[in-house]
Amino acid sequence: MKKTVAVTLLAGLICCGCASVSNKASMPAGFGDRIHVASAGGADAGDPAARQNILPPVARRQAGNAANDTENKTLSSFSTEFKNATKSRSHNIRRASASIDQTVITPGETFSYNNTIGPTSKANGYMLGRVFVKGKDSKGYGGGVCQVSSTLYNAALEAELEITERHPHSKAVGYVEEGKDAATSYGSVDLKFVNNKSFPIKINSYVETDKITVAIERA
């Protein structure tokens, strides 16, 4: 009987503050392949007996290899949310996220958050936002960049990178657990870590609606 086969390939110092909720990012699901076999005659194409969602050996190996490659490439991933953030804070988070995205760190190299994003000034594209000044709420350019550094810090911890500089905020923040934040202030307070791996790594940082995800990957 003739059959038709179709295969479908199916993120006491001046620092930023916010009150949102933290979430670890779930790793993206790997893709799968589905093969649909329908009889060209005799059996009804809508009959479950005439349909087989069976992954052929070759496609199964290809899907498995792709999933393994993704898992092996990603060392860690961490996300935080910034729901109900002001327009300026959202802008600053996106600006800082884009600045660290695709940064490659060679073995033994030290990464500096401040050196990577540059001055959190109006001239560098940052807006006025909420910051902490000696534990008190205030306004300053770049309010929100500490959420990016904190998200990156947690990703670096999960990747077991060597943290060489990290500072807590002068006031509790709501987007990560206590003790998991990383305050930064250009020119004074930085987040630094060393690539202690035997291979280059890359920072993959992106924003989806009101959530930032930072992943550490093999470059």
- How do residues 129-153 score in pLDDT, each as one tens digit? 877 766 667 778 899 999 999 999 9
C-alpha of 54 from chain center: 34
pTM of the model: 0.70
Which residues in 96-125 are b (16+ Cβ under 10 Å) and which e?
bbebbeebebeeeeebebbebbbebeeeeb
The residue ranges of the chain whose pLDDT is under 70 are 1-71, 133-136
Question: In this predicted model, what pLDDT tens digit does every residue of 180-202 receive, in sequence order?
Answer: 999 999 999 999 999 999 999 99
